[in-house]
Amino acid sequence: MQSHQIELYLLYLAGLFYVITGVIIMLERYSEKNNRLPVIVALSGLLLHSVSIGVRWQRTGHGPFINLYEILSSNVWSLFLGLTLFMIFMPKYRVIAKIVLPVIAVLLLWLLVVDPKDTYLPPTYNTIWLYFHVISGKIFFSLLLLASGFAAYELLINFQSRKQHKEKVQQTNKVHLAHGFLAVAFVFDSFMLFFGAIWAQDAWGRYWAWDPLETWAFLSWLGVVFTLHLKMNLKFDKVFCGLIIACFVLAFLTFFGVPFFSTAAHKGMI
């Protein structure tokens, strides 16, 4: 069996484990938040996915960050890893997984219909700074997804009746957790831009060129800065939660829109 086939079989099997994990989480009750089954199934899927990525890495000679298929695969892996770690270390708030799982499911479905073609490694990608840039970006995106999950949960709670909201506000208020995850996400977003600028200087002799991807990435960073600033100076929790979700939408478009629809995602990239 060729390595390409092995890679795809492992990916499809990992996807099946991811789906089973999602079904278990969606069906479980809040009282079952200490159930270890979804964590075990998720870890099994991550292991299979890791081997799939490793097989491809060995065959192509580069990491999963060149074409759309590779970027989707590595982001599904990193997002599911972040969610699994969240369920392990914060099981009390596992209800948030029900909100963020549909986002990962969309990326997984997208991944399964994308052409898994092999690509070559451009000379400008042959630098250690690229790995720092990519890893920082994936951590940022995972943390922002979780922050958005807390924000969306808080907004859903606010749609309940005013009486119910007043009775449960002390138990259901997730704004402070959304703020914490967003603050840490901001740190890694800043690292992503910083390492990306160093990479750009090494590769193309300039730190910044305002190409489409750099511009959108900077707008995403400004959105996070504005949202954090608003939280520190104002107490409009509903507006704050809405802005967190808006930041995630902007980051999603930056990660999965601009690089594949712009004719020059990075000027001089290849």
Which residues does 192 contact at the CB level (< 8 Å), separation at least 6?
133, 136, 137, 140, 217
Percent of the chain with pLDDT over 70: 88
Q: How far out from the chain centre does Cα 160 lie?
A: 29
The tens digit of pLDDT for each residue in 211-236 reads 888 899 999 999 999 999 998 887 77
Window from 75-89, 179-193, 255-269 with minimum mean pLDDT: 255-269
Do 55 and 7 contact (CB within 8 A), yes or no?
yes
What are the counts of helices (DSSP H) followed by strands (DSSP E) for the chain?
10, 0
For residue 182, how many C-alpha atoms fall within 13 Å in the half-sphere facing its CB?
34
